[in-house]
Structure 1
Amino acid sequence: MDWYTSLFELIDMRSFSNLWFWIALAVVWSSASHWVLGVPFDLVQRARRIEGQSMVDLEDLTRINVNRLLYIGRVSGLWVMGLTCFILSALAVLGFAYELEIAQALFLLGFPLSLVGLLNLSTARLIETEHLRGEALCKRLTRCRLYTQMIGTLAIFVTALWGMYQNLSIGVLG
């Protein structure tokens, strides 16, 4: 038995029947909803409850991450968007036209995350233009988290449906 066969037995390329894919999906969406604009959501909750230094920390961390996101968007936004569209298009074609299951899984993970990236960029721009601070900042971050969770819930639902379809169709055909 060669290393190539051993590797592909260890890492099943049929993603939707692989437990590791579903664990990764859960971890990705859990992390995406916890880190709003790079700010941990427990800091938002603590700033609302305690205020004082916690609110200052929240405002500082949000300002740093908003400036970072907007700088990246202004300097290399078109390149990042072009590369992301290319990768997602390649995954969609490989996955759904050529029926490569790992490409389907990566597309179903990457496409909704790209929507969350756009949501974060939009939220960062709103925070900068409206000069949000205090409770208004907490509300905006909470709204961004809610929208991220909605995208994540829909993405998990669609991925689960597609994964069940793939597993059932392969089970029937195989």
Structure 2
Amino acid sequence: MNWYENVYELIDMRSFSNLWYWIALAVTWSTASHWVLGVPYDMVQRARVHGGQAAADVAALVAINTRRILFIAREAGIWIVALGGFGGSLLLTLGFGYGSEFCQAVFLLGAPFALVSLISVRTAHLIERRAPVDEALYRMLRMHRLSVQFVGIVSIFVTAMWGMWQNMQIGVLGG
């Protein structure tokens, strides 16, 4: 194999056989589970253990991000759902209806974030309605994080199974 073939293999558009796709999938879900309603989870843990200024910082960040999420949901929610539904339907049709592996990969990477967005809006509504403080707030953030992690685990599992299926078909059918 020469240098050109090595580079071509590195940036191959067959997504499920490309290492970069799997790195992007891992980084995306790792980041999604680390940032809980826009607050880094290590700050939540520090606030729970130490309190004081760390707790005030987390409460402020949660309040700011809750208002931001709810503002976006109330002002542009219908448009976001409509455009997201269109984009998701387009990727679903091109990917699974017409067999575009790239569209399948993008759909499997992005579609679960529609559920994560719904979970975030729901949590923001609960925080606005209940106005939890200290341990109650940290418990809500922890439950939100666990929900996102569960969606991520299922998403990674489904994507891995579909990717292996696609790679086995390419191996058996010869491309």
Q: 1:2-21 residue pairs with structure 2 within 5 A?
A: 11-21=11-21
Cα deviation digits, residues 14-46 of structure 1 (max 9, x gap):
000000000000000000000011110001100
The one-letter code matched in structure 2 to 1:105 is: A
- SS of 1:95's equivalent? helix
Offset of 1:165 from its aligned partner?
0.2
**Equivalent residue for 1:120?**
120
With structure 1 as the length reference, what TM-score do the two structures score? 0.94
- Change in 2 beyond 3 A, CA 1:166/1:78: same
Between the aligned partners of 2:95 and 2:69, the Cα distance in structure 1 is 30
1:69-126 deviations in Å (ceiling 9; x for gaps): 0000000000011111110100000000000001000110111111101100100010
Contact 2:91 2:103 in 1 (8 A): yes
SS of 1:12's equivalent in the other structure is coil
With the length of structure 2 as denominator, give the TM-score of the two structures.
0.94
Instruction: Output the aligned Cα RMSD.
Output: 1.2
2:114 and 2:8 map into 1 onto residues whose CA distance is 29
Match of 2:85 in 1: 85
Matched residue type, 1:84: G
Partner of 2:3: none
Q: Which residue in the other structure is 1:140 paired with?
A: 140
Indicate conservation of the 8 Å contact 2:10/2:18, yes or no. Answer: no
Measured at CA, do residues 164 and 117 of structure 1 come closer, stay the same or move farther in structure 2, by a change above 3 Å? same
Q: How does 1:26-41 map to 2 (within 5 A)?
A: 26-41=26-41
Q: Is 1:69 matched up with 2:48?
A: no
Matched residue, 1:154: 154
Residue equivalent to 2:167: 167
Q: In structure 2, how many angstroms separate the alpha carbons of the residues matched to 1:127 and 1:117? A: 15
Structure 1 unaligned residues grouped into runs of 5+: 1-6
Structure 2 portions without partners, runs of 5+: 1-6
The ranges of structure 1 where at least 4 consecutive aligned residues each deviate by more than 6 angstroms after the TM superposition are none
1:110 aligns with 110
2 CA distance for matches of 1:152 and 1:39?
A: 18
Q: CA deviation at 1:13?
A: 1.2
Cα offset, 1:133, TM superposition: 1.3
Show the counterpart of 2:45.
Answer: 45
| Mapped pair 1:99 → 2:104 | no
Q: Output the CA distance in 1 between the equivalents of 2:110 and 2:93.
A: 14
Question: What is the Cα deviation at residue 10 of structure 1?
Answer: 5.5
The change in CA–CA distance for 1:10 and 1:164 in structure 2 (over 3 A counts) is closer
Residue 111 of structure 2 aligns to a residue in which SS? Answer: helix
Aligned residues: 168
